Amino acid sequence: MRKIELYDTTLRDGAQSEEISFSVEDKLRIARKLDDFGIHYIEGGWPGANPRDAEFFEKAKKLKFQSARLAAFGATHRASLKVGEDPSIKALLASKTPVFTIVGKTWDFHVKEALRISNQTNLEIIFNTIAYLKKRAEKVFFDAEHFFDGYRANPEYAVKALEAAVSGGADCLVLCDSNGGTLPHEIGRIIKELYGRGHLAPTAQANGCSPLQRTSFGIHAHNDSECAVANSLIAVEHGAIQVQGTINGLGERCGNANLMSVIPNLKIKMKVNCISDGNLKKLKDVSRFVTEIANLRHFRRQPYVGESAFAHKGGIHVSAILRHPETYEHIRPDVVGNQQRVLISDLGGKGNIIKKAKEFNLRVDPDSPEITHIAKQMKELENQGFQFEGAEASFELLMKKTFKLHRKFFELTGFRVIVEKRSEGEECLSEATIMLKVDGKPEHTAATGHGPVNALDAALRKALEKFYPQLKKVRLLDYKVRVLTAGTGTAAKVRVLIESGDDVHKWGTVGVSENIIEASWQALVDSIEYKLLRG
């Protein structure tokens, strides 16, 4: 089976989506998830472009990836500077990633209008940049920006740009449909022409081939004409060995090629080796995880991973799939971690619960009444607005409470949160007072914070740390709020997602209420109890 490399650019291209703003902790958390998922290359961002990416790469040096190689993205050096003097090139080297991905112009229109340099100078800076970095990295990929537009306008020059990158030592030529306007048949035609002209070879040989023919190529497609996934598949069919894309198709304008569709299409439909069967079962989980971290609503009708991807409502459909699922399902949903749903009587849910129980090291009987109870309870909670993707700790607590493996570490007597603004132009003051009992012993304390939730969190920890010193290591890493009920204004129900961590682990918890403080309290309590259960 032919192997394809998966290159994820969610942390850079995906972060350029409208309404997306990943924190450093978000990016680190997503990177770990992608590594666990089996992605081959994770593009972390553009070092030196902004403080957030600089901090990410500094912290990423401590990450130990199991399957992925971390890549840093950058551009060819400025024409006015020598390659070693360019600050952006220095920032790339400072990231100390094993892989560098360099974008360069292949469309003469861009060379003239964007860079405002000669065509020859552009070829020289492509060569200089690749050659300089190749001596200092394991691999260097060349993102041939606007390649298909450039090839249509001036094929000779577009190929010269590729040749310059190959001469510099590029390990892979990534053909980019940067404007996202190329159609699948055009992708296929242009790649065939490159073969026909001797610029690419389907089976590169050590002898008798030009350097360009011996260099592998990949595809980086944008989705402005709704063809990014199709264009990626066509490129693979014609010999591409690397596919670049993002989780859920996030990206500039209309987004990038959606890896949540590319991966199963390659693996299941085209029989191309790109990911293991076990990791393919994580597809939906990865999709939902990134959506939650991005603080977006899940796209129900997304192929393969959407809630509606295997949902059936029509009477004829339901009757047929209950006999033979293949009648109205193109694959088995469990292959990609999804499940079949019958909307008039939802039959799904138990399988996922049993799977999660195994992940939590809980030995359960699949036919136990507790499993049925959890499935029913989960549906009720989801109807209220709870979502447990990105809040695995809350779901683990829910299961342990059902199986009576949970203990109550403290009892709330009451709390009060005060927000005070004393004069115009001054910051608000937030103070939380809390009363609780631990093993019958009352504790009453107060704390201030940067906002009411931070004050409540500080008061809760202050009250408990004398009883449970291990809580001193717990940090609140991230806090997100999503409005669930549109049209109700400030009375809307909200979902609060909190990420916490200590020196070793990180975990997510969730709360839902019309009162943002109450929702935050639920998530905070789950976070504390999860830590105490772990010890």
Residue ranges and CATH numbers for the domains of the chain are 6-275 (3.20.20.70), 411-534 (3.30.160.270)
Distance CA 241, CA 227 (A): 19
Say what the pLDDT of residue 204 is. Answer: 45
Distance CA 511, CA 509 (A): 7
Q: What are the φ and ψ backbone dihedral angles of 344, each rounded to 5 degrees? A: -80, -20
More confident residue, 298 or 437: 437
First to last CA, the chain: 46
Residues in CB range of 190: below 8 A, 6 or more apart: 148, 151, 152
128-173 pLDDT, tens per residue?
999 999 999 999 999 999 999 999 999 999 999 999 999 999 999 9
Contact 69, 172 (CB under 8 A): no
Residue 345 has pLDDT above 60, yes or no: no
425-461 pLDDT, tens per residue?
888 999 999 999 999 999 999 999 999 999 999 999 9
Please report where in the chains the tokens 């927000």 appear, as a residue.
419
Distance CA 286, CA 250 (A): 13
Segment 233-244 shows an average pLDDT of 97
Give the pLDDT band (50/70/90) at residue 424: confident
Least confident of 42-46, 156-160, 203-207, 334-338: 203-207
Say what the pLDDT of residue 361 is. Answer: 87
The structure tokens listed for 132 are: 């300089």
Residue 343 has pLDDT above 70, yes or no: no
Q: What are the φ and ψ backbone dihedral angles of 213, each rounded to 5 degrees? A: -70, -25
Torsion of CA 401, 403, 409, 412, to 10 degrees: 30
Distance CA 266, CA 229 (A): 10
Q: At what angle do helices 516-534 and 392-402 cross, to 10 degrees?
A: 70
Q: What is the pTM of this model?
A: 0.75
DSSP state of 77: P
Q: What are the φ and ψ backbone dihedral angles of 433, each rounded to 5 degrees? A: -115, 135
Say what the pLDDT of residue 488 is. Answer: 63
Say what the pLDDT of residue 379 is. Answer: 81
More confident residue, 355 or 286: 286
Please report where in the chains the tokens 């560098």 appear, as a residue.
100
The percentage of the chain sitting over the pLDDT mark of 90, rounded to a whole number, equals 75
More confident residue, 387 or 471: 471
Say what the pLDDT of residue 517 is. Answer: 95
